[in-house]
Amino acid sequence: MVEVPDSPLPVRIVPPARDDDYLDAMRAAVRAVGADVVVPTVSEELPRIADARDAFGADVFVAVSPPEAVRLADDKLVTERRLADRGVPVPRTATPHDLTAPGDAERRVGLPLVVKPRVSRGARGVRVVRDASALGPLDEHLLLQSFAPGTEYAPVVHAPLDGGAPFFVRVLDKTGLSAGEVGNATGVRPADGPDTADVARAALDAVSALGLVGPVDVDVRRDDTGRPVVLELNARFGANSEAVPGLFDHLLDDLRRIRGLVP
C-alpha cells in the first residue's frame, strides 16, 4: 500500500485489501509481471482472494485455502466452535451475549481471561483481564477466553494443496511477547521433540478440522493443567515463517506436483 524505498525487486502499489478496487489492482499486477502463482500473505486479503481465485485466470495458481475454510479461520469465535466440535482442545470461550448476570464471565470462562476481537491479526485489541470489574463495555465483535498461563508456541504447518504429500509441522517456542503476557512473538526458537509432540498434534488436528491447505500459522498455549490449547489459526505464511528454512519449498513442491513437473 506504500512505497518501498530501495527495494531490490519491483514493487507495485495496490489499494488496501478491503478497498473496492483491490482485486482489479491485483489482477492487473499479475498480468503486468506475467505471474503464474499468487501467494497472499495478509489476513485481510485472504477472504477476498479465496472467493475470486478463479478470476485470476486458468494459468494462474492462487495458493489459498478454499473460501469456506478461510472464513472459518478468519473469525476466531467460529474457529473455536469448529475446533471444539471436532475435539481439538481450545480455551473456554464466551461471547458478550452469554453474560446475562453478574459473575457470568468468571463462571463461564474463569479469571484471568482474555478479551479479543473476533476478527483481527497480531495483538490488536487483545487484553488480559484479572478482575471482572475491569471488563468494561463489550460488543458483539469481541469474545472472551480463559487465559492459558503456560508456554506459548507458534507451530508452522504446511498442509498439502492436493493431498499428495504428508503434512509438515515445525514447532517454535515464543521466547517473548510484544505485550508481555500476550501479543506477537518478539523471538522464537525451534522446540520440536517429544516434549512438544502434543503441541504439534493439536496444530495438525486444528488445520485438518478447518480444512485449510498450504501454509498455516498456528498459535498454541499450555493451559493451567499443561494441556496445549489452540488459540487461533492464520491461513497464510506467518511472521515466524522465516524461522523455518525450507517451508516455502513445500509449497513449491506441491505446485510442481500439481502441474505434473514431478511424480
Q: Band the pLDDT of 24: cuts 50, 70, 90.
A: very high
Given a cut of 90, is residue 102 above it in pLDDT? no
Q: Band the pLDDT of 19: cuts 50, 70, 90.
A: very high
Quote the pLDDT of residue 262: 66
Q: Report the CATH number at residue 20.
A: 3.40.50.20
Model confidence pLDDT, tens digit, residues 195-218? 999 999 999 999 999 999 999 999
Given a cut of 70, is residue 110 above it in pLDDT? yes
Number of domains within the chain: 3
Which 3-state string (H, E, C) describes the chain?
CCCCCCCCCCCCCCCCCCCCCHHHHHHHHHHHHCCCEECCCCHHHHHHHHHCHHHHCCCCEECCCCHHHHHHHHCHHHHHHHHHHCCCCCCCEECHHHCCCCCHHHHHCCCCEEEEECCCCCCCCCEEECCHHHCCCCCCCEEEEECCCCCEECCEEEECCCCCCCCEEECEEEEEECCCCCCCEEEEEECCCHHHHHHHHHHHHHHHHHCCCEEEEEEEEECCCCCEEEEEEECCCCCCHHHCCCHHHHHHHHHHHHCCCCC
Q: Which residue has the higher pLDDT, 114 or 125?
A: 114
Mean pLDDT of all residues in 153-176: 93
- Whether 49 and 100 share a structural domain: no
Given a cut of 80, is residue 122 above it in pLDDT? no
Quote the pLDDT of residue 263: 58
Helices (H) and strands (E) in the chain, counts: 7, 13
Question: What is the C-alpha to C-alpha distance for residues 178 and 164, in angstroms, rounded to an integer?
Answer: 38
Mean pLDDT of all residues in 45-55: 95
Given a cut of 90, is residue 121 above it in pLDDT? no
Which of 106, 125, 146 corresponds to the end of one domain?
Answer: 146
Quote the pLDDT of residue 151: 96
Which of 115, 130, 146 corresponds to the end of one domain?
Answer: 146
- Whether 116 and 141 share a structural domain: yes
Q: Which residue has the higher pLDDT, 123 or 64?
A: 64
- Whether 162 and 131 share a structural domain: no
Using the structure block, give the residue that is written with the C-alpha cell 501467494: 39
Given a cut of 80, is residue 261 above it in pLDDT? no
Residue 77 lies in a domain: no
Mean pLDDT of all residues in 175-188: 91
Q: 67 CB contacts (<8 Å, ≥6 apart)?
A: 47, 50, 51
Quote the pLDDT of residue 123: 76
- Structural domain containing residue 125: 93-146
Q: Which residue has the higher pLDDT, 198 or 41?
A: 198
Q: Which residue has the higher pLDDT, 262 or 13?
A: 13
Q: Report the CATH number at residue 154.
A: 3.30.470.20
